[in-house]
Amino acid sequence: HGKNHLLTNGLKVIAAEYGAIGVWFTMFHNTNDVMQVGTNTTVATSFSMSALVSPLASSSSITYPNSVSIPLTPTNPSGTTYYQSTIQAIWNAGTLGSNTLGEFGLFAGNTNYSVPPVNNVLITRIASADGTFSSFSINPNFPLIIDYVVQASYV
């Protein structure tokens, strides 16, 4: 587990859509633009960020995952007081080249239950510059798989 920076836009999304934990999880729409990766390794996360510093792109277009899996209903593991959902993004072998992975972000819709969400805002950023993980070179011979576990509980 590393540091997770919930950004200003993330707080706005939660404030607009948080009625119940199950509803909060619905803001992660099951489309490939829910997660992005980037190469920056030097800029620390600030709460006002609205985009990754250096998103991986091809021909000036963001390189989104080839597939995304998001359970529609969060689970409540037995004996716990929280709900969790795992968002999995997969970039096929060769999709990202042999770039450095230094940051990734989770995006969500902010349309007060509209389906599908029309706005995609950066709600959280995980960055090597924050000391959360060590940046690494992506091996283009293998897929890159990121599992992002979201947990929420009532207080």
Structure tokens at 6: 């919930």
Q: What is the pTM of this model?
A: 0.76
CA angle 42, 45, 47 (to 5 degrees): 155
- 15 has a pLDDT exceeding 70: no
State the pLDDT at residue 106. 85
Instruction: Write the pLDDT tens digit of every residue in 51-61.
Output: 899 999 876 67
Q: What is the distance between the alpha carbons of residues 141 and 83, in angstroms, rounded to a whole number?
A: 35
Q: Decide if 53 contacts 135 (C-beta within 8 A).
A: no
Question: What does residue 50 show for φ and ψ, rounded to 5 degrees?
Answer: -125, 0
Please enumerate in sequence order all residues whose Cβ is within 8 A of that of 11, keeping only pairs 6 or more positions apart, or say none: none
DSSP H helices in the chain: 8-17, 21-25
Q: What is the distance between the alpha carbons of residues 116 and 155, in angstroms, rounded to a whole number?
A: 30
Instruction: Write the pLDDT tens digit of every residue in 106-149.
Output: 887 644 444 444 457 788 899 999 998 999 999 999 999 998 87
- 99 has a pLDDT exceeding 50: yes
